[in-house]
Amino acid sequence: MSSLSRDDVANLARLARIEMSDQELDNLTSEFGVILNAVARVQEVATTDVPATSHPLALTNIFRKDLVIPSLTPEEALSGAPASEEQRFRVPQILGEEA
C-alpha cells in the first residue's frame, strides 16, 4: 500500500531542495518502500476518536513583553556568511517570484 515511485522520490528531493544522483534516488526509492510499510503501522490504531498530540506539554499563552533587546552587531550577524557585501548577505541570483 505504501510505495513511492522513483519520480515521487525525485519530487520530494525537489521540494526538500536536495540534488540527488540517479544512484541515490534508486537507493532511496527501495528503502522508502520498506520504511513506509513499517511506519504505516500507526494507521492501525489512529482512529478518528483519538485526539492528536502535537506537543508533549499542555501549555498555552506563552508570550514575551513587547520590549526591544539589543540585536547582534552586523559583524556578528554576517560572521558566518559565505559571502557578504555592503553589510548584506550576498546570495546567488534568485529565480523566483518578484517580491
Residues 47-66 that bind another protein (CB under 8 A): 47, 50-57, 59-66
* Cα-Cα end-to-end distance for the chain: 41
Distances, alpha carbon 56 to alpha carbons 29, 40, 91, in Å: 32, 22, 38
CA distance 47 to 63: 34
Q: How many residues bind another protein (CB under 8 A)?
A: 77
Least distance (Å) from another protein to the CB of residue 59?
A: 4
Asked if residue 23 binds another protein (CB under 8 A), the reply is no
Q: Draw the binding track, 78-97, toward another protein (x: CB under 8 A; -: no contact).
A: xxxxxx-xxxxxxxxxxxxx
